Amino acid sequence: MDGRVWCWLERNQAWLMLAEADAPVVASQQAVLFYVYAHQLEELHSQLAESGLEQGRIGPGAPGPDREFSIADPDGYCVMVTDAAAMAAPRPSE
């Protein structure tokens, strides 16, 4: 393979991994994963429910984090929200 196919961006406590797609990205096929790390997961889940945003229940992820829930963004992509205290972001190999 020529060139870079993924990169890891980091700024303070924010991490972002980007990978090159080999085909068009279609929301309904969920070829993209978005993870948001949040503190006070239960409180955030309750606030989102009170605001009328549909979301999944807090439960174990497989193979993801032990505590997470999902929400759909306006374009139909699934966004996973996980407990920041229970998950440390992976570090890229150097």
Mean pLDDT score, 81-85? 85
> Are 9 and 15 within 8 A, CB to CB?
yes
Percent of the residues in the chain that have a pLDDT greater than 90, as a whole number: 9
Helix, coil or strand: residue 65 = coil
Both tokens of 33, joined, read: 């994963």
Cis preceding-peptide flag for 74 (omega within 30 of 0): no
In this predicted model, what pLDDT tens digit does every residue of 63-78 receive, in sequence order? 667 788 988 888 878 8
Mean pLDDT score, 25-53? 84
Cα–Cα distance, 17 to 35 (Å, whole number) = 10
Domains and their CATH numbers in the chain: 32-89 (3.10.180.10)
